[in-house]
Amino acid sequence: MLLGDSTRNSGSGKFELIQNDNVKRWDLVPDSQAQIFPDYVPKAILLDYNEACQIVKLSPKASATLSRRCLQGMIRDFWNVKKPRLVDEIEAIKEKVDPETWAAIDAVRSVGNIGAHMEKDINLIIDVDPGEAAALISLIETLIKDWYIVRYERQERMRLIVEIGNSKHAQKNERAQSQ
C-alpha cells in the first residue's frame, strides 16, 4: 500500500482498497466458497477443487481448467479408468452414469479445455466468466457427494448391519452352548 492509499470495510466481510481513485474489492473471509469434504475423498482431488474455488473470481479460465483436472482425477480414481485422453475416459463411463450427469461431465471437459489447450488460432480467445466456472465447480461438488460420500455412507451402513448380524449370531451360539 502506498502513501495516500486507503482501505475501507464495505460491510459483510468485504473490503476495498482505494489506490489512485481505483477501487479493488475482495472478500476477507472465507477466501473461497469451497465446501469442506471428508478426508476419505482423495487429497489430490480436494486440492484441485479447493484451488479452483479460490481462483474462480480471479481467473475463471484457470478455475475451469482445475475443475477439468479434478474431474479427470475423479474418473481415474472412482471408476478406475485410465486412458491417454480425458475425452476417452469420459466415453468409457458413459454407460455407468445417467445421461444428464454424463452430458455435464463432458461439458466440464469442453469448458476446461479452453484453459488447458491453446486454440489452433492463437488469436482466438474464448473467455470463461466466474459464473460459468462456478457452475463447473458445482458439478465437481455434486460428483464428490454422489461418488464418494454416498458410497462411503452406504459402506458404513452395510458394515454396521454385518456387525449386528455377527453379534446376534454370536449371542445365539453362546446361548445354545450354555443350555
Task: Assess whether 56 and 79 both reside in one domain.
Answer: yes
| Cβ contact 148:41 at 8 Å | yes
Per-residue model confidence as pLDDT tens digits over 68-84:
999 999 999 999 999 99
**Residue 120 belongs to domain with CATH number:** 1.20.120
Q: Are residue 73 and residue 141 in the same domain, yes or no?
A: yes
Angle, CA 44 vertex, CA 38 and CA 49 arms, to 5°: 70
Share of the chain above pLDDT 90, in %: 63
Instruction: Give phi and psi for 16, each to the nearest 5.
Output: -130, 140
Torsion angle, alpha carbons of 10, 16, 21, 22, to 10: -130
Q: Are 92 and 21 found together in one domain?
A: no
Statement: residue 91 has pLDDT above 70: yes
- In Å, the largest CA–CA distance within the chain is 91
Cα–Cα distance measured from residue 5 to residue 17, given in angstroms and rounded to the nearest whole number: 7
In a domain, residue 26? The reply is yes
* Segments forming the whole domain that contains residue 60: 31-154
Q: Do 136 and 67 form a contact (C-beta atoms < 8 A)? A: yes
User: Can you tell me the mean pLDDT for 143-164?
Assistant: 97
DSSP H stretches of helix in 30-121: 43-54, 60-78, 86-92, 99-116
Q: Tell whether 23 and 84 lie within a shared domain.
A: no
Q: Considering its fold, how many domains does the chain have in total?
A: 2
In a domain, 23, yes or no: yes
Residue 160 lies in a domain: no
| Domain match, 128 and 55 both | yes
Q: Rounded CA gap, 64 and 89, in Å?
A: 18
Same domain (yes/no): 23, 42: no
Residues 143, 110, single domain; the answer is yes
Q: How far apart are CA 77 and CA 144, in angstroms?
A: 11
Of 13-17, 48-52, 101-105, 171-175, the least confident: 13-17
Q: Could you tell me which of 130, 55, 144, 140 has the C-alpha nearest to residue 104?
A: 140
What does the chain come to in residues? Answer: 179
Q: Give the DSSP per-residue string, 91-106.
A: HHTTTTS-HHHHHHHH
pLDDT digit string (tens) for 158-173?
999 999 999 999 998 8
Same domain, 79 and 128: yes
pLDDT at 115: 56
